[in-house]
Amino acid sequence: MTPSLLLATCVLLGAWIGLPAHAGPASTAIRETAEYVLTRFGRGSAGQTVEDLVGNTTTLVARHGDAVLPLVRTAGHDGIAALERAGDQAPNVLRLYAARGDQAVWIITEPRKLSLFLKHGDAAADAMIRHPGVAEDLIGRFGGDATVALNGLSKQSAQRLGMLAEGGLLNATPRSTEILSVARQYGDGAMEFIWRNKGPLAVASVLGAFLVDPQSYFTGAKQLLVDPVITPIVASVSWTWLIAGMLSLLFLPFIVRRLRSAYAALRRTPQAGK
């Protein structure tokens, strides 16, 4: 036997000898986790057995390490499904759980929230934890801009931002999503102003002027001009017909009285002839 072949044989033999000592405790922990999941969560929608869970969990542990087990014990079948769904990003899911614990479970185990986290990262998770309900809708519609804005807002401001989005303010003009950047930069003070002026800010010209220097409007140095709202309406009006209509309404009582008088006179004329 050559020296190189002898060395390779020794290495393989050593690995084979060492494997049971390592695999035994690991296999035990995995089986205990699988049994615990069945006791706490039942067999799941797929009707999994202990052996099914052992197999799935063993695969995940082989890929991502023992950090899989605490998440699986906490989230059960949904935790396994989340890690499988995350694929190569499963380590990010495990890191989120390690950092945020139970707060992260409801993000990890709900497919839509998990998808937002995998796409937008820790900032999205922070926003969803900070503003549950509001954040996932805004992040889903407006992405990273909404994520950063929400993390700098109070609960009330985040709720108002959500209502403004539902009301269409963030889609009203081609530049309306820039309101998110203003909210991100200036925080709750900006949201207070935007909330009070949501009507004028839905107009492209007013919004454009505001976005040039938002802070001057917050301090009162500048005022939102609503003339651009009125000007298109004024320009589209036929003033000749409008004035004629107003005069007609003004003199309508007089015209009615004259018509009645004329009608009465016509009825009296034949009687006078008799």
Q: What's the pTM?
A: 0.70
Distance CA 271, CA 274 (A): 5
Task: Dump strand ranges (E) for the chain.
Answer: none
Instruction: Report residue 135 CA to chain centroid gap.
Output: 4
Query: pLDDT at position 18, please?
Result: 41
Distance CA 144, CA 181 (A): 10
Numbers of helices and strands, H then E, in the chain: 16, 0
Query: pLDDT at position 248, please?
Result: 60
Of the candidates 173, 117, 184, 175, the one whose C-alpha atom is nearest the C-alpha of residue 145 is 184
Along the chain (274 residues), what's the average pLDDT of each consecutive run of 10 residues? 49 41 66 93 87 94 95 96 95 96 94 96 96 96 96 97 96 96 96 96 95 94 71 45 52 60 60 47
Query: pLDDT at position 47, please?
Result: 85
Structure tokens at 49: 């057995």
| Count of residues in the chain | 274
Query: pLDDT at position 61, please?
Result: 95
Query: pLDDT at position 235, please?
Result: 43
Backbone phi, psi, residue 257, to 5°: -60, -40
Of the candidates 127, 105, 100, the one whose C-alpha atom is nearest the C-alpha of residue 116 is 127
Residue 156, SS3?
A: helix
Distance CA 218, CA 189 (A): 8
Query: pLDDT at position 122, please?
Result: 96
Helix segments in 168-238, DSSP class H = 178-196, 204-212, 214-218, 227-236
Distance CA 171, CA 189 (A): 22
DSSP 202: G
Instruction: Report residue 105 CA to chain centroid gap.
Output: 18
Residue 41 neighbours by CB distance under 10 Å: 16
